[in-house]
A and B are shown apart, each in its own frame.
Chain A
Amino acid sequence: MTATIPTTRRILIAGVAAAAIVVIGVLVWFLRPTPAGPVVMHAGTPHHAVTATVGSAKTGTTAIDIDLTDRAGGPALPATVEIEAVMPLMGHATPPVTAVPSGGGHYRADAVPLLMAGPWELRLSISTADGVDNLTLPISVGN
Chain B
Amino acid sequence: MIFERLRPALIAGLCVLFLAGGNAPAFADSPSTGGDLTIAQSLGDRELTLVLRRVTGTPGPLHVDVITHAGTAPGRLTMSATPMGITGASSALPAAGVPTTQAVLDIGQTPGTYSTGLDVDRPGPWELALGDGYRVAHIPFLVPVQATSPPERAVYGGFVAAGILLLVSVLVAARARRGGWVLLPAAGLVAAIAVAVTGAVLSASLPLPPQPGSQLDPTIDNVTDPYARNGPLITDFSRPPVLLAPGGNPLTAGKPGELELNLTDGATGAPVDDLIIHDSALIHLLVVSPSGRLWHLHPIRTASGRYQQHLTLPEPGHYAVSAEMVRRGGGVQLVRVPAGLDVSGTGPVSAPVNPVVLADGATAGSADIGGTSIGVEVANPAAGRPAAVTVQVGGTADLQPWLGMAGHMIVAGPLLSDTDIGTAVGKAPVWAHAHSMGGAAGTGRVAMPPVNGDSTPDETVAAYGPDVSFTYSFPTAGRYRLWIQVERAYAVITIPVVLDVPAATEGGRR
Query: Which one of A15, A39, A89, A133 has the highest number of Cβ atoms from chain B below 10 Å of its Cβ?
Result: A89
Do A118 and B95 have beta carbons less than 8 Å apart? no
Closest to A34 in B: B230
Do B97 and A46 have beta carbons less than 8 Å apart? yes
A45 surroundings in chain B (CB, below 8 A): 97
The main secondary structure of chain A at its interface with chain B is strand
A60 within 8 A of partner (CB): no
C-alpha gap A118/B273 in the complex (Å): 19
A131 within 8 A of partner (CB): no
C-alpha gap A48/B95 in the complex (Å): 8
**Closest Cβ of chain B: how far from A17's Cβ, in Å?**
11
C-alpha gap A142/B230 in the complex (Å): 7
C-alpha gap A19/B240 in the complex (Å): 54
A93 surroundings in chain B (CB, below 8 A): 267-270
B352 within 8 A of partner (CB): no
Q: Mark A61-90, 1 if CB is under 8 A from B, else 0.
A: 000000000010000000000000010111
C-alpha gap A49/B83 in the complex (Å): 13
Do B239 and A119 have beta carbons less than 8 Å apart? no
Do B265 and A42 have beta carbons less than 8 Å apart? no
A89 surroundings in chain B (CB, below 8 A): 234, 236-239, 329
Contacting B at CB under 8 A, from A88-110, are: 88-93
Do A41 and B238 have beta carbons less than 8 Å apart? no
A136 within 8 A of partner (CB): yes
Query: Which one of B94, B96, B181, B274 has the highest number of Cβ atoms from chain A below 10 Å of its Cβ?
Result: B96
A133 surroundings in chain B (CB, below 8 A): 97
Do A50 and B95 have beta carbons less than 8 Å apart? yes
**Closest Cβ of chain B: how far from A105's Cβ, in Å?**
13
Do B86 and A43 have beta carbons less than 8 Å apart? yes
A134 within 8 A of partner (CB): yes
A41 surroundings in chain B (CB, below 8 A): 86-88, 219
Interface size on A, residues (CB 8 A): 40
The main secondary structure of chain B at its interface with chain A is loop
A4 surroundings in chain B (CB, below 8 A): none
State whether A42 and B95 are in contact (beta carbons under 8 Å apart), knowing that A118-B231, A136-B273, A142-B231 are contacts in the complex.
yes
A12 within 8 A of partner (CB): yes
B29 within 8 A of partner (CB): no
A111 within 8 A of partner (CB): no
State whether A44 and B95 are in contact (beta carbons under 8 Å apart), knowing that A12-B180, A15-B184, A91-B265 are contacts in the complex.
yes
Contacting A at CB under 8 A, from B249-276, are: 265-270, 273-274
A2 within 8 A of partner (CB): no
Do B240 and A8 have beta carbons less than 8 Å apart? no
State whether A136 and B98 are in contact (beta carbons under 8 Å apart), knowing that A88-B239, A117-B231 are contacts in the complex.
no
C-alpha gap A133/B97 in the complex (Å): 10
Closest to A123 in B: B270
Closest to A47 in B: B97
Do A91 and B240 have beta carbons less than 8 Å apart? yes
Do B91 and A138 have beta carbons less than 8 Å apart? no
**Closest Cβ of chain B: how far from A63's Cβ, in Å?**
17
Contacting A at CB under 8 A, from B77-94, are: 86-91, 94
C-alpha gap A16/B184 in the complex (Å): 7
Do A91 and B180 have beta carbons less than 8 Å apart? no
A40 surroundings in chain B (CB, below 8 A): 88
**Closest Cβ of chain B: how far from A54's Cβ, in Å?**
11
B178 within 8 A of partner (CB): yes
C-alpha gap A86/B268 in the complex (Å): 9
A71 surroundings in chain B (CB, below 8 A): 94-95, 98
Q: Which of A16, A46, A88, A117 contacts B274 (CB 8 A)?
A: A88
A46 surroundings in chain B (CB, below 8 A): 97-98
Do A134 and B270 have beta carbons less than 8 Å apart? no
Do A138 and B268 have beta carbons less than 8 Å apart? no
Instruction: Spell out A's residues near B (CB within 8 Å).
Output: 8, 12, 15-16, 19, 39-46, 48-50, 57, 71, 86, 88-93, 117-119, 121, 123, 133-138, 140-143
Instruction: Spell out B's residues near A (CB within 8 Å).
Output: 86-91, 94-98, 178, 180-181, 184, 188, 216-219, 222, 230-232, 234, 236-240, 265-270, 273-274, 304, 328-329
Known: A41-B88, A71-B95, A91-B265. 18 other contacts (CB 8 A): A16-B184, A19-B184, A41-B219, A42-B88, A42-B91, A44-B94, A45-B97, A88-B217, A88-B274, A91-B240, A92-B267, A92-B268, A118-B231, A119-B216, A119-B217, A119-B231, A134-B304, A142-B232
In order of increasing CB-CB distance, the 6 nearest A-B pairs are A91-B267, A44-B95, A44-B97, A140-B231, A138-B217, A49-B95
